[in-house]
């Protein structure tokens, strides 16, 4: 028997989870620090927010969530903006969502599994971004129930 992931009828907007000022700041930081234009930065940050919200809402389920290195760039960028990340976590999680990176990358299919869980959690998945690293790896520490 295979598990199916139900996709909600309405799509959740990652922009609804941060203020416009935080969104714009993250895009500016990503374009400052990486060779991305604002479109690519927005795509990656939107997927990072969807991933983080899903990790918060699924916390304790030990799903082994993990994004690939491309989305992880936007996740790390947000974490480094500590005041905004801490406020985001407090608002949506009631505390700080830990990030425990693994030293070695995993090649276990968890990137694409994570994308499917995010989609099942009501977010639109930007499949080309996830598929880029889908067969490769996730740097999240196995069994840590972090993100």
> In Å, how far from its chain's centre is CA 127?
13
Confirm if 109 and 66 have CB atoms less than 8 A apart: no
Confirm if 44 and 103 have CB atoms less than 8 A apart: no
How would you write the pLDDT of the chain (147 residues) with one tens digit per residue? 455 555 456 899 999 999 999 999 999 999 999 999 999 999 999 999 999 999 999 999 999 898 988 999 999 999 999 999 999 999 999 999 998 877 777 778 889 999 999 999 999 999 999 998 877 665 555 555 555
The reported pTM is 0.88
101 pairs with which residues across the strands?
Answer: 140
Rounded to a whole number of angstroms, the distance between the first and last alpha carbons of the chain is 28
Q: What are the residue ranges spanned by the domains of the chain?
A: 17-140
H-type alpha helices, 58-109: 69-80, 82-93
């Amino acid at each position: 028997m295979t598990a199916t992931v139900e996709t909600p009828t309405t799509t959740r907007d990652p922009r609804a989870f941060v203020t416009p000022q935080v969104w714009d700041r993250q895009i500016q930081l990503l374009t400052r620090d990486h060779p991305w234009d604002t479109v690519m930065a927005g795509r990656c940050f939107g997927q990072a927010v969807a991933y983080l919200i899903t990790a918060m809402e699924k916390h304790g389920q030990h799903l082994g969530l993990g994004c690939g290195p491309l989305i992880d760039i936007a996740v790390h960028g947000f974490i480094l903006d500590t005041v905004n990340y801490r406020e985001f976590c407090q608002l949506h999680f009631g505390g700080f969502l830990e990030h425990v990176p693994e030293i070695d990358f995993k090649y276990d299919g968890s990137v694409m599994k994570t994308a499917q869980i995010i989609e099942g959690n009501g977010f639109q998945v930007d499949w080309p971004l996830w598929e880029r690293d889908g067969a490769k790896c996730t740097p999240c520490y196995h069994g840590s129930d972090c993100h």
